[in-house]
Structure 1
Amino acid sequence: MKWALVFSLLFVALAFADEDCEDCLPLAETCDVEVCKLPDCRCSITDIPGGLLPRNTPQFVTVTFDDGVNTRNIITYRASLYNRKNQNGCPAGATFFVNHEYTDYTVINELYNRGFEIALHSISHQTPQSYWAEASYEDMVKEFADQKRQMAHFGNIHVDTIKGIRIPFLQMTGNASFQMMANHGFTYDCSWPTVSFTDPALWPYTLDYASEQDCIVPPCPTASIPGTWVMPMVTWTDLAGFPCSMVDACFSPPSLTDENAWYNFILTNFERHYKGNRAPFPFFIHEAFFDANPAVLRAFIRFLNLINSLPDVFMVNAQEVLDWVKNPVPISEYRQQPCRRLVPTSCRARSCGPYTAAHNNLAYWMQVCSVCPRVYPWLGNPLGQ
């Protein structure tokens, strides 16, 4: 009886150890499209989900913004994104990958109640970049799993709607971030650029099997981690033919004061998807670029006006793309589907602080939709208790 108890306890301990053991994960095998089937599995291929023809495939546009949200950049978001609708009558979407520092959580609540997707960009967004390249499973839990609770708590939004992550500097962490995602209720990562799969472009896929995607910022995942999705960051091509994963990171863009040139630049990259295999067209950017370059913002708004007028193009939240990929239907059927439903939340706004942060001794104020924290929230103490 004594030995039975010892072995039982040892089995439990090993089970918990394996949960965060990166070296214990099985190496991913080559994907077989006959075995890996939707809705739960998809190989890293450029084929349109469901075997649809391009002309029958909805062209999704995924607009995303990185970093903190606050009373300054919400002005741009209100002016460019609010009250837009696709031609199926559903609200246009966008996704915000938000980090904790300098985020106004009352603005998070506003964006959420407008139907936009709130995703995560880490608590610390710290430098150097090598911190992320060398990050462990435990580091990823502190940066993202804890941020999930933090975002839901201070923004008063539903925790189960937070599904996506983007790692700072697009620095992959090998298997660690995907293992964290699998264990903590995340659905997708959108941190992994591709320059080899742009025409035709790579569609979202799962990590049940080995990825064929090029590894631009190693280390990239090598393990089989079922249930986790990759939203590939399909790069644009700038005027000199160089790839850029973020719109504001192109080496050779048009003149920053030339609205028409920027509008045509956006259209050129869009048409590669629209006239190709209709993989989701990415518009990944930081709002500060728009703030510094009003002509680019005007070109962006013109582009949104165009796509919102097209019957086969849909500006959606990133999670909505995955919902379609899991259950692909032709445009005619997609247009008849009900719009996404939102359960709104309230915000009893409070201004908290100043707090002297333990990690850098700087003073911070916080705007929250909950009770004020006792100390400034940070890694290891995401709620500031």
Structure 2
Amino acid sequence: MRLRNFLAVVFLGVLHRASSVPRGILPPNAYAVGHDLSPQTSKAPADECKNVSSSGSQKCGTKAVTHEKTVIPIEKTVETDMINGENRGCSGDKAQQLKGCPDIGTTTKAPVSSPPPAPPRKDSVTKKPEKCNPDNCKLPNCMCESVIPPVYDMPQFVMLTFDDAVTETNMKFYRELLENPKRKNKASGCRIAATFFVSAEYLDYPSVNELYRMGNEIALHSISYNREPSGSYWNDLNTTGWAAEVVDERLMVEKYAKVPAEDIRGLRGPFLFTGGDAGFRMLHSHFDYDCTLIHKRDGPDDTPVFPYTLDYGFQKPCMVHKCPNDTYPGLWTVPLNYLFRRNDDKYNPCAMADSCLPQPETSEDIFEYLRFNFENFYHTNRAPFPVFLHEASLDKERKEGYLRFVDWLLEKEDVHLVTVSEVLDFMRDPKPKESYAQRHCTKEDLPESTCPKWKRCHYPTTLRGGERYMRICGTTCPENYPWVNN
């Protein structure tokens, strides 16, 4: 009965990379799931305990004690009403609106290959957010929070994303997924593409360059990926501290992976922490979007939300504190809409696809789990479907089911597996599916490599502690191991 009173609790179970394991290899206990319903956890004297996994597990003498880092305090807040729900020329029937309503009396524009230029951003405003007024919030640089498709006959986007470092080890799977010439979006003939939210520890920069060259998006996940269990490190950072973690990581990726800074457009906060307004002020000044904020759904029948801008702030319940209170004109948020996992007579929610409980164990199980959630989006309002996870969660069985799911999606004419930035380019200039043209389309020939030579660098001692190896594009290693404020 108690669980029924806590349906809003998020079963994040974010996978953590153990800092003591070289080159991105994870021990089994790095997959630990944090889902305690109580904010209190058992403790042992500090001098008797030591961390044994990045999930918050500690060893106290001979006894392992789990300190849950993903206990989510839920505020009693009133969810906002449907925003931007105008009929757009069709009846008031909600089911029809969710499918998108034709714009009566207009003609369809020809497809374009690039979004219109966005006007300059306004400064962030500290004020109590008001309800978004669609008459004042106009594309391409303002979009109200809404469950209504921005266009009639909406194409279905699927966003494949992966968190944490790209390494020589997990690159094998990324090649298997993304290099297969048969894996193309059926309508466009474009290769499928994914978004990689990379953290700096163990990051293999030539592999990052290879993914970018293949047409994938590189986004950010912080330099330090600090694992302090309570999240106080991230919540206590000021805007300058967030810039040191994120803006400086963009400089590192630009320099050592040869990825242009202007193409590194977004962030997913580590462990889904954003730092509230301190982090969002940094984002608003330097980036196009955030992909961290959880958007609670009460069940599969609760319609998912489309990406929108924070001109009117974030008005959903705060699931991982801190959340932003100010408004950030022109800054997009890509919602982490809940997915659901059937468990007996109820549905367990999760913000990341690899954290729903009970976790799928077989190839068939993960295929059916992903298909159920996809069809939940596809047969309602066709909001972009999030397959947000960590490669480390995909053992042999799960990889088989995941790849089967991807291939099943590619049988559909109106489904597009694209990057997060591609989805936002569409949102700025939405078009019905018959007129949609993918902006970044990689077909057969890849562009010439910008990383023809690479070098493996060795650092016997580092600010991080211990020795590190790092591959970079180029022939000259940096003098010091790149790190926060270094």
* TMscore range, shorter length: 0.7 to 0.9
Residue type of the alignment partner of 1:171 = F
1:179 aligns with 2:273: no
| Alignment RMSD | 1.8
Tell me which of the two structures has the higher relative contact order, counting C-alpha pairs closer than 8 angstroms and 6 or more residues apart. Answer: 1
CA deviation after TM superposition for structure 1 residue 282, in Å: 0.6
TM-superposed CA distance for 1:138, in Å, is 1.0
Aligned to 1:153: 255
The reply on whether 1:112 has 2:204 as its aligned counterpart is no
Indicate how the Cα distance of structure 1 residues 80 and 228 shifts in structure 2: closer, same or farther if over 3 A, else same. same
Counterpart of 2:423 in structure 1 is 321
> 2:376 aligned with 1:278, yes or no?
no
Q: Where does residue 231 of structure 1 map in the other structure?
A: 334
Tell me how far 1:213 sits from its aligned partner: 2.4
Match of 1:95 in 2: 195
1:242 aligns to what SS in structure 2? strand
Q: Which residue of 1 aligns with 2:178?
A: 81
Counting helix residues as a fraction of each chain, which structure ranks higher?
Answer: 1
The letter for the 2-side match of 1:28 is P
Equivalence for 1:376: 481
2:354 is paired with a residue whose SS is helix
Match of residue 203 from structure 1: 306
- Whether the aligned pair in 2 keeps the contact of 1:36 and 1:42 (CA below 8 Å) is yes
Q: Is contact 1:29–1:224 with CA below 8 Å preserved after alignment?
A: no
**Percent identity at matched positions?**
37
- State yes or no: 1:251 paired with 2:351: no
Letter in 2 for 1:267: R
Q: Is the 8 A contact 2:422 2:438 kept in 1?
A: no
Cα distance, 1:236 vs structure 2: 0.8
Q: Which moved more, 1:309-318 or 1:41-50?
A: 41-50
SS of the residue aligned with 2:407?
helix
**Matched AA of 2:337:** V
Aligned to 2:92: none
Aligned pair count reads: 349
Give the structure 1 partner of residue 321 of structure 2. 218
Work out whether residues 355 and 375 of structure 1, in 8 Å CA contact, stay in contact via their aligned partners in 2: no
1:124 corresponding residue in structure 2: 224
Q: Which amino acid aligns with 1:369?
A: C
**Alpha-carbon offset, residue 253 of structure 1:** 2.8
- The separation in 1 between residues aligned to 2:392 and 2:338, in whole angstroms, is 20
Q: Quick one: which of 120, 123, 131 aligns to 1:30? A: 131
Distance 2:165 2:448 in 1: 22
1:39 matched residue in structure 2: 140
Provide the C-alpha distance between the structure 1 equivalents of 2:439 and 2:227, rounded to a whole number of angstroms: 43
For the 8 Å contact 2:314–2:327, the answer to whether it is kept is: no
Aligned with 2:467 (options 339, 348, 363) = 363
Q: Distance in 1 between matches of 2:417 and 2:424?
A: 13
Q: Deviations over 1:114-145 (max 9, x none)?
A: 11100000000012122112221011100111
Unaligned residue ranges in structure 1 (runs of 5+): 1-20
**2:455 maps to what in 1?**
350
Aligned match of 2:98: none
Q: Is the 8 A contact 2:269 2:292 kept in 1?
A: yes
Change beyond 3 A, Cα 1:344–1:48: farther
Q: How far does residue 344 in structure 1 lie from its aligned partner after superposition?
A: 4.9
Do the aligned partners of 1:196 and 1:214 also contact (CA within 8 Å) in 2? no
Q: CA deviation at 1:75?
A: 0.6
Q: Following superposition of structure 1 onto structure 2, how do residues 46-57 of structure 1 map, counting pairs within 5 Å?
A: 46-50=147-151, 52=152, 56-57=153-154
TM-score, L = length of structure 2: 0.69
- When normalised by structure 1's length, the TM-score is 0.87
**2:295 maps to what in 1?**
194
Looking at structure 2, the residues matched to 231 and 252 of structure 1 have their Cα atoms a distance apart, in angstroms, of 26
Partner of 1:312: 414
Shift of 1:212: 2.7
SS at match of 2:332: strand
